[in-house]
Structure 1
Amino acid sequence: MKLALGLATASLFLCACTEVPEATTDDPVLARVHQRELHLSEMEGMFPPQASRADSTVIIEAFANRWARDAVLLWESEQNAPSDLNLDRLVRDYRASLVRSSYEEQLVSAKLDSTISQQELEAYYEATKEQYQLEKPIVRCLFVRVPYPTPEESRLQELWNNGKPQDTAALADYTRSYAEVALLNDSAWYGLDEVAQQLPEGTLTPDNVNSKREFSQQDGTHRYYFRLFELKPRKEIAPLSYVEEQARRAILHTRKREVLERTREEIFEREARRNNITFFSPDNWEL
């Protein structure tokens, strides 16, 4: 009811505000390109409930303009289509592809086991790790960026220097309150460029990172703390923890392909047993 009311209202606006190419009807024509026409009914659901006359006019004009551009291109394409273009076959093939893809998605959803054990993940990584060469350096580190002047600076300095487990927890509490950036997981890997972007330009680079394993510095707006634990340069094999999600996706992709291939074969064999598949000898072929 609301949609019909919206169209009726828009129709009134159209009659009042634009030139209608034909006598006013319940479904006025908005635009025409050669023999194709755009009718108001095709815009059902596009008008907000409280649209004003001006709003509806803008919506109609914008949609009609886009429609006309598409329709002109379609007409031009039809005029220049190759004489041997088999549209019926293209449409049939495209429909078959959509139907098959939809069914394959159902099969994957129903049959794919997405559980990946740590043992399987590690085995896959060991077998394929040569493909996980790093494209950029990565680091295990601690990094904190806080505003300057620094809130409770002496406390932060003490917590940063001590490195005791209880102080690590306290440091995390401090950074939740004051830090703009805090990387405190010493087992996590980060792209060196990602960390460097949080520092003044040129502070940390692939060329100087080994000589700047630990430092703190400040500029006019921030204070920075950095501690390097491990560096893996470009072209080394990435550690599993850094590529874990990528490896998991690869495992699931392989499983998906196997599910589809196995199911296709099962369906083929079933229909062959039911005598629903027939191959004809070359004598029957018309070449």
Structure 2
Amino acid sequence: MLVVAAAVGCGEPEPENPDDPVLARVHQRELRLSEMEGMFPEGATAADSAVIIEAFANRWARDAILLWESEQHTPSDLNLDRLVRDYRASLVRSSYEEQLVSTKLDSVISQEELVEFYEATKEQYQLEKPIVRCLFMRVPFPTPKEEELQDLWNNGKPQDTAALALYARKYAEVALLNDSAWYGLDEIAQQLPEGTLTPENVNSKREFSQLDGTHRYYFRLFEMKRRKEIAPLSYVENQARRAILHARKREVLERTREDIFERELHRDNIEFFTNR
């Protein structure tokens, strides 16, 4: 059986138990084989087991020696019992709060509520970068069915929009064809040759196509919002929904905490002695 000894302490080790041998020792701490129960896969050979034992013993020894070193530098006034008690209380409370949220939180948010929340808080949603509502495509050059693509791009009819999306699925490397979606201007600019599209020139390049020898690019701008402007709801919808759910979660927890307090107070399970 493999035994890994690390940093042996000055005290006498416990007698060896042949049924549960020591795998590693760090000062007075010992790792025994019994602590590895369930870690060996079914059908593992003796060689496989030896590799698993050696790897685990080495990890254990590193953790144990760091713990020992930490203990040597623990401040004399550190109240470990209180820290452990507080940490346990925090874990128990967090677990219960998760149960409360999972059973009591209503996660359905109506569009009306979403709009109302956005209107009340939209000053919080100032843009950190310019965004655009646009169409954009990047296709390889030579361009497959180039004339057909030009017609589909230029016509803008509903039936041509569907055909354009079909073309994009077949041939385009990048295709943003939802005319109601917003994108960061920098996201679009990264798909173009450097310097083609910037916050300074985008309004003068509201529609263009260009070729750089390896790709052909198509761009059509519908609307732009600059940095510091209020973001449209569709652009921050997920963020707003998370904010609504966070507020609901906080309300559930505060209401439940208060209900429990009042219940136990009326049952005389809470006493105060502060006015003596």
Tell me whether the two structures share a fold, i.e. TM-score over 0.5. yes
Alignment partners' CA distance in 1, 2:36 and 2:196: 57
Q: Which residue of 1 aligns with 2:114?
A: 121
Q: Is the 8 A contact 1:47 1:56 kept in 2?
A: yes
Gaps of 5+ in 2: 6-14
Alignment partners' CA distance in 1, 2:57 and 2:35: 10
- The letter for the 2-side match of 1:261 is E
* 3-state SS, counterpart of residue 83 of structure 1: coil
Alignment partners' CA distance in 2, 1:113 and 1:267: 20
Q: Which residue of 2 aligns with 1:94?
A: 87
Alignment partners' CA distance in 2, 1:206 and 1:195: 11
Q: Report the CA distance between 1:51 and its aligned residue.
A: 4.7
Q: Which residue of 2 aligns with 1:266?
A: 259
Alignment partners' CA distance in 1, 2:133 and 2:107: 30
Q: Which residue of 2 aligns with 1:147?
A: 140
Match of 1:216 among 195, 209, 218: 209
With over 3 angstroms needed to count, the CA separation of the structure-2 counterparts of 1:48 and 1:212, relative to structure 1, is farther
Per-residue Cα deviation, 1:9-42 (whole angstroms, up to 9, x for no partner): xxxxxx2xx4566867333322211111222333
With over 3 angstroms needed to count, the CA separation of the structure-2 counterparts of 1:87 and 1:24, relative to structure 1, is closer
Deviates further, 255-264 or 65-74? 65-74
Deviates further, 107-116 or 215-224? 215-224
Residue 191 in 1 paired to residue 169 in 2?
no
Q: Is the 8 A contact 1:20 1:28 kept in 2?
A: no
Q: Report the CA distance between 1:44 and its aligned residue.
A: 3.5
- The letter for the 1-side match of 2:188 is V
Q: State percent identity of aligned pairs.
A: 82
With over 3 angstroms needed to count, the CA separation of the structure-2 counterparts of 1:55 and 1:219, relative to structure 1, is farther
1:18-97 superposed matches below 5 A: 18-19=2-3, 25-49=18-42, 51=44, 55-97=48-90
- The letter for the 1-side match of 2:154 is N
Q: Report the CA distance between 1:56 and its aligned residue.
A: 4.1
Question: Which one has a larger percent helix, Structure 1 or Structure 2?
Answer: 1
* 3-state SS, counterpart of residue 186 of structure 1: coil
With over 3 angstroms needed to count, the CA separation of the structure-2 counterparts of 1:157 and 1:251, relative to structure 1, is same
- The letter for the 1-side match of 2:240 is A
Gaps of 5+ in 1: 1-14
Match of 1:203 among 196, 199, 202: 196
* 3-state SS, counterpart of residue 102 of structure 2: helix
Per-residue Cα deviation, 1:104-132 (whole angstroms, up to 9, x for no partner): 11111111111111111111111111111
Deviates further, 213-222 or 72-81? 213-222
Alignment partners' CA distance in 1, 2:192 and 2:56: 48
Q: TM-score, normalised by structure 1?
A: 0.87
Q: Report the CA distance between 1:65 and its aligned residue.
A: 2.3
- The letter for the 2-side match of 1:73 is L
With over 3 angstroms needed to count, the CA separation of the structure-2 counterparts of 1:179 and 1:41, relative to structure 1, is farther
Q: Report the CA distance between 1:153 and its aligned residue.
A: 1.3
With over 3 angstroms needed to count, the CA separation of the structure-2 counterparts of 1:77 and 1:220, relative to structure 1, is same
- The letter for the 1-side match of 2:231 is A
